[in-house]
Amino acid sequence: MTKAFYLTTPIYYVNAKPHVGHAYTNVLCDTIARYHRMLGEPVCFLTGTDEHGTKVEKAAVAAGKTPQAYVDELVPHFEELWNALGITRDFFIRTTDDRHKKYVQGVLADLEAKGEIYKAGYKGWYCTPCESFWTELQLKEGKCPDCSRGVDRLEEENYFFKLAHHQAWLTDYIETHEDFIRPAHRRNEVLGFLKHETLEDLCITRPKARLRWGIEYPNSPDHVVYVWFDALLNYVSAPQFAIPGKKEADFWPADVQLLGKDIVRQHAIYWPIMLHAMGLAMPKMLLVHGWWKIGEAKMSKSLGNAVDPTALAGKYGVDALRYFLLKEVTVGMDGTFSEDLLAERYNSDLANDLGNLWHRVASMIEKYFEGKIPKGSADALRPPLALSTLKLWDEVHSLMLGFDMRESLAKMWAVIAAANQFVEEKKPWALAKDTAKRQELADTLYVLAECLAHLGVLLQVFMPDTAKKILERLKVQTYQNIRTAQDYTKPLLAAGTAIEKGDPLFPRFEEKVP
């Protein structure tokens, strides 16, 4: 059986409800997953929740609950959000799943047996919010070099994972695999770090006296496993029990692992070294995206500026939120979130451009052809509009293989603009007045309907609800595999088919919300 196109998101801490930043990662990943499904490839899309560690334990204590009860209550919010946003994950992993815990313990026992893990005394400084150990030299003015908060002096026995002796291998791997970390500026940052700093072995346990909420270290009941070591392993543990009968080789290596720029060190340094030590192949790509910000600050629960994606999807529609997130920034760059901008894009790109195009074309087919697709002449698919519609596949295909959702949408919207322009130029209402121009009228509306049908096919990847409406109203089969330009360019509409105009795709926002 062919290996699945395997893609993952980070697994989210369950210390608060998810916000727009979390929704962004999953919308990106879902769009890539849908694209590859459309290509007819078997796809495995994994997301989930990271449930152990200090952050979650503290949040549970603050809520007056046990950590298990706390996470059990919060996890459904994640699942509900992914359902609401049309996130077509194949599996949702929770790190409190016993099967995951066993897998982690098995890996630790193996690595210890191979000499990759050792036990030693630790003396140094610890930043609790970052869960990071620092040496005296690494501190900046006595504070955590990452977050500038105070650090605590620690002296304790722990287990350590050997990072240092894999540094040369990792540097060489990244240098010789240009696509391993993308975009390039992130790759350069990691390489710069590896060339100028010496990696210290990673402390991968916490004494239970300090943290109880974690996976027990094998044969050492006084220690729990460091949350990142536990969490990163989800990417290889989950599919083994998610898909019964599957082995590592059926999905690993991952094709794309998506992550935000805040967690590059863990994914581009710890994770590859863990895999290397375990004898597993490297993921093909770590795709690092930027942050959604509010003004200059990262959107985050702890800064109190988190925006609720459920409320936005309720107000503007799921597809409007997906469109905004995908179209507003290029993957890898930061974006400034503002609801005003979302409302503006809704009115201009969705209501005015796409919504209006549908409404005009469907209304005119209703009015001039009794709601049936007119029969185009042999030359009907000749105008530049038809050609640019049919060329879209080639353009979007290469952009999507490079994960450029923004430019893909821009290409599609250029065709939408051209279609609206075509209506202005052809003036079907004038053609309708002249019986000698009946075929020209039929050709005009036929081309426009074909254009909408082809856009509908591609939109399935980005805006699934809208795509479904367009295709169903035009009676075009949904979710067919589009593997090649030929699959895409064939005409989709049958003359004489009765279409449905339906409600406006994107009612003007002022009308929708009183």
Query: Of 231 and 492, which has the nearer Cβ to ligand MSP?
Result: 231
Among 43, 111, 299, 386, binds ligand MSP (CB under 6 A): 299
The DSSP output letter for 443 is H
259 binds ligand MSP (CB under 6 A): yes
- Determine the interface stretch with ligand MSP among 242-250, 298-306, 446-454, 473-481 (rule: CB under 6 A): 298-306
450/476 Cα distance (integer angstroms): 10
Minimum distance, C-beta of residue 452 to ligand MSP, in the bound complex (Å)? 33
In the numeric block, which tokens belong to residue 223?
């220690």
Contact 120, 160 (CB under 8 A): yes
In the region spanning residues 226 to 245, those forming contacts with ligand MSP, defined by CB under 6 A, are 231-232
Query: Of 261 and 411, which has the nearer Cβ to ligand MSP?
Result: 261
493 binds ligand MSP (CB under 6 A): no
Among 6, 22, 322, 412, binds ligand MSP (CB under 6 A): 22
- Determine the interface stretch with ligand MSP among 19-27, 73-81, 339-347, 352-360 (rule: CB under 6 A): 19-27
Query: Of 171 and 266, which has the nearer Cβ to ligand MSP?
Result: 266
Contact 346, 506 (CB under 8 A): yes
Q: Which residues contact 204 (CB under 8 A, 6 or more apart)?
A: 108, 117, 158, 159, 160, 161, 225, 226, 229
Minimum distance, C-beta of residue 204 to ligand MSP, in the bound complex (Å)? 14
In the numeric block, which tokens belong to residue 344?
């503006």
Residue type, 94: R
In the region spanning residues 47 to 66, those forming contacts with ligand MSP, defined by CB under 6 A, are 50
In the numeric block, which tokens belong to residue 55?
């952050």
11 binds ligand MSP (CB under 6 A): yes
Nearest residue by C-beta to ligand MSP?
21
Minimum distance, C-beta of residue 305 to ligand MSP, in the bound complex (Å)? 9
293/242 Cα distance (integer angstroms): 34
Neighbours of 386 (CB within 10 A): 23
User: Which of 162, 163, 132 lies closest to 148, judged by CA?
Assistant: 132
348/327 Cα distance (integer angstroms): 13
Neighbours of 91 (CB within 10 A): 14
Query: Of 234 and 389, which has the nearer Cβ to ligand MSP?
Result: 234
Among 25, 220, 240, 460, binds ligand MSP (CB under 6 A): 25
Binding stretches for ligand MSP (CB under 6 A): 10-13, 21-22, 24-25, 50, 231-232, 259-260, 262-263, 291-292, 298-300
